Each structure stands twice: as structure tokens, then as C-alpha cells.
């Protein structure tokens, strides 16, 4: 006798439940269900050896520390399962022996330096006298980092960071979030120390910089990662923000076509500018131009102008989908679960360690799940 609609729905519900709890095909046969169907085979999960950990072809979870961190600070990082760290580099120009000494100190605690940030080239950003000397120092730093074995150097390229637009607000349980409101700061006057710079000027300055340093980075085996403007409004103190939209990010990697000329993909900023983080991750990762990742979330109201930085589990961005895309495309450099929020416990203890621990736990769960399906 043919199944009626109720029997059909009942059988479908049973199969769905078995899939969730992991009942295999043999058990399905005992219950009188078709264990040989293609659908049943597709629902069988692949076998994964636990614990799932980072490998040569997976993202590497990392936390920020300082170049001269003490053993206590290193142990706190290692104790939450982190094997990689990032930090600001020493004063330019870097020296290979100094970097190696720092690397050895971290290595003794089971940590590998995966990313160092270079700065100290404001004249190059602004196109002023002295930029060539600054660029030479950056080149020397790149060479030193490559010789020591640092794979990624991160940097910024903006006239101002418009932190004036941030404000505090209460989140869940009285935790503290940052919001950004461009209306409060869009009419701020130019900074006399830096003046006003158009997008055309800044693109010319960035092009000059990239054409000087990227060939050096290629030869040294180093990848450069330019972080987008954060916050990303169109104008800050009268000057343009060329890394504040997706068009600018795409233009960046076209100036010098090389894996050494890439971006820091920030899922939170990507949402804040009104773009789809999964699509953007695909665009840059499929071209091998993501050289570092910031893994965080946000709620966007007006692209580039109004948003709130949320806990990683409650913003607009599907963070699981972001991690899945990075894993699928075999992104294998650093992933920083950044921007911890204000917790009472951290306020009492000082610092933001517990906030970072929460972010790390969430990111590791996303990574392990993505590697298991």
C-alpha cells in the first residue's frame, strides 16, 4: 500500500533526526528505511580525526602581543591554544639579528611570529620631503624580516584615523561596545600638521610606495598586507580615505600584480562599508591577495558612516560562512579574532584578556567546524 502524506512526513522527520544524531546506514536498514539511497550517502559525514588543528593549508589563529613581551604574557597566549602571534615591529629600519632574537624568545614558549606591522613613513603617505629615506628604511625592514623568516608585514596608509567618531554604548549584560557616527565628525576642520590631501594625491603616493617596496618584498619572500581604513568614512579632517571602500581595495592589488601586494581582509570593516564579507573574501582569496585576516563582526546601519562593533556571535556577518570560505579556498596565513568588548571581569582584572579568550574560543569552534565538513 502506498504511503499516505502523514506516513511520508513521519518517515522524513525520522531520517532528519537520525542524520542529526549520527545514526548510520546500518541502523537505517534496521528501521526499514532505504540505506542505499544517494541522499543517505550524502548525509554521511566524513571521518575527521580529533582534535582538529591548524595545518600548513589552514588559517592560523593568532593573537597580538608586543615585540618585547615577557614570558608571563607569552604563557597566557599559549594557554588558550594559540600557536601564532603578531605585533608591531621595532623602530625602522629593522635588523635581522633583533628580529631573530625576538623570534627565538617566542619559539621557546611554543609561539611563532606570523605578522609584524611596519610604520614610521608618514612622509611617504603624505608625499612630502623625506619620503625616499623612509621608504628605504621600510625596504631594509622587509629584507631583515624576510631573512629572519617573518612571512607577513602589515601596514596602514591613511592621513588620519577618525577615532573621533567612536562612542561607547551598552551591550548585552552591561558590556561595552564601540559605535561609530560620522555625523558627529564629518565637519571637523583640517589638521594643520597634515593639511588636506585628495584621493588623487594619495593614490599617487601609494603607487610610488608600492612600486618601490613590493619588488623588494617579492625577493625577500614577504607578503605585505594593507589594512583598510578603520573607521572607513569618505573624508577625515578634509582628506580622502582611499582604503575605505571595495573599489579602492581592488585598485590596490592592481597597482602591482603580486601576491606580495595584498590586503588585510577584515570581515567587520567589510560589513561596515556595506559589502558582503563572503563575496569579498572569495574575490581576494581566489586571487591569492589576502595576506592577513581580522575576524570580527558588526551591525551596519549606513555604509561607512553608522555602525556598531558587536560581539563576534551577534553581528550582521555570518562568521561561519566567512570561515568556511577561507578554509575552502585554502587561506593559510594569520587569522586574528580581534576587537574584544568591554567585560566587567576584564575591568576588574585590568586589560582585555578574557574578551580575547572569548573571541579565540569562538573562532576556533568556527575553524574546527569548517575543517570537519
Same domain, 200 and 172: yes
Is 25 in the same domain as 98? no
Q: Whole-angstrom Cα distance, residue 231 to residue 228? A: 9
**81 and 192, same domain (yes or no):** yes
The DSSP string of 224-292 is EEEPPPSS--SEETTEE-TTSSHHHHHHHHHHS-STTEEEEEEHHHHHHTT--HHHHHHHHHTTT-EEE
Which tens digit of pLDDT belongs to each residue from 60-114? Answer: 999 999 999 999 999 999 999 999 999 999 999 999 999 999 999 999 999 999 9
Give 213-230 pLDDT, tens digit per residue.
999 999 999 999 999 999
Over residues 240-291, the pLDDT tens digits come to 999 999 999 999 999 999 999 999 999 999 999 999 999 999 999 999 999 9
Place of cell 588636506: 196
169 domain residue, yes or no: yes
34/149 same-domain check: no
Residues 366, 300 share a domain = yes
Structural domain tally of the chain?
2
Whether residue 55 is contained in a domain is answered as no
Q: What is the pLDDT of residues 287-303, one digit of tens each?
A: 999 999 999 999 999 99
- Domain residue limits at 101: 60-372
- The verdict on 253 and 118 lying in the same domain is yes
Same domain, 290 and 238: yes
- The verdict on 29 and 152 lying in the same domain is no
Distance CA 230, CA 126 (A): 18
Query: Quick one: 196 and 140 in the same domain?
Result: yes
Cα 176 from Cα 169, distance rounded (Å)? 6
Q: Is residue 54 part of a domain?
A: no
Question: In 3-state terms, what secondary structure has residue 112?
Answer: strand
Amino acid at each position: 500500500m502506498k504511503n499516505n502524506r502523514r506516513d511520508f512526513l513521519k518517515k522524513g522527520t525520522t531520517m532528519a533526526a537520525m542524520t542529526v544524531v549520527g545514526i548510520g546506514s546500518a541502523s537505517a536498514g534496521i528501521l526499514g528505511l532505504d540505506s542505499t539511497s544517494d541522499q543517505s550517502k550524502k548525509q554521511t559525514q566524513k571521518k575527521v580525526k580529533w582534535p582538529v588543528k591548524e595545518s600548513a593549508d589552514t588559517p592560523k589563529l593568532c593573537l597580538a602581543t608586543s615585540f618585547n613581551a615577557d614570558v608571563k604574557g607569552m604563557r597566557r597566549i599559549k594557554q588558550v591554544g594559540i600557536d601564532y602571534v603578531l605585533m608591531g615591529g621595532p623602530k625602522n629600519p629593522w635588523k635581522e639579528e633583533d628580529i631573530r632574537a625576538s623570534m627565538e624568545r617566542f619559539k621557546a614558549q611554543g609561539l611563532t611570529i606570523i605578522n609584524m606591522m611596519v610604520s614610521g613613513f608618514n612622509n611617504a603617505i603624505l608625499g612630502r620631503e623625506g619620503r625616499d629615506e623612509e621608504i628605504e628604511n621600510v625596504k631594509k625592514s622587509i629584507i631583515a624580516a624576510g631573512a629572519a623568516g617573518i612571512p607577513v608585514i602589515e601596514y596602514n596608509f591613511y592621513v588620519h584615523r577618525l577615532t573621533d567618531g567612536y562612542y561607547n554604548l551598552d551591550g548585552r549584560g552591561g558590556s561595552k561596545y564601540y559605535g561609530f557616527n560620522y555625523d558627529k565628525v564629518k565637519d571637523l576642520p583640517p589638521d594643520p600638521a597634515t593639511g588636506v590631501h585628495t584621493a588623487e594625491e594619495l593614490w599617487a603616493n601609494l603607487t610610488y610606495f608600492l612600486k618601490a617596496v613590493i619588488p623588494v618584498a617579492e625577493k625577500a619572500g614577504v607578503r605585505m598586507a594593507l589594512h583598510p581604513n578603520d573607521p572607513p568614512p569618505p573624508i577625515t579632517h578634509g582628506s580622502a580615505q582611499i582604503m575605505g571602500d571595495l573599489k579602492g581595495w581592488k585598485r590596490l592589488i592592481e597597482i602591482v600584480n603580486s601576491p606580495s601586494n595584498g590586503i588585510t581582509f577584515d570581515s567587520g570593516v567589510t560589513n561596515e562599508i556595506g559589502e558582503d564579507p563572503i563575496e569579498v573574501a572569495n574575490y581576494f582569496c581566489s586571487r591569492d591577495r589576502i595576506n592577513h585576516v581580522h575576524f570580527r563582526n558588526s551591525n551596519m546601519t549606513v555604509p561607512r558612516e553608522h555602525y556598531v562593533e558587536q560581539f563576534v556571535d551577534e553581528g550582521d556577518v555570518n562568521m561561519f560562512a566567512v570561515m568556511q570560505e577561507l578554509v575552502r579556498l585554502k587561506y593559510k596565513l594569520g587569522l586574528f579574532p580581534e576587537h574584544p568588548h568591554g567585560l566587567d571581569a576584564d575591568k576588574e582584572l585590568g586589560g582585555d584578556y578574557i574578551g580575547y579568550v572569548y573571541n579565540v574560543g569562538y573562532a576556533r569552534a568556527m575553524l574546527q567546524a569548517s575543517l570537519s565538513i
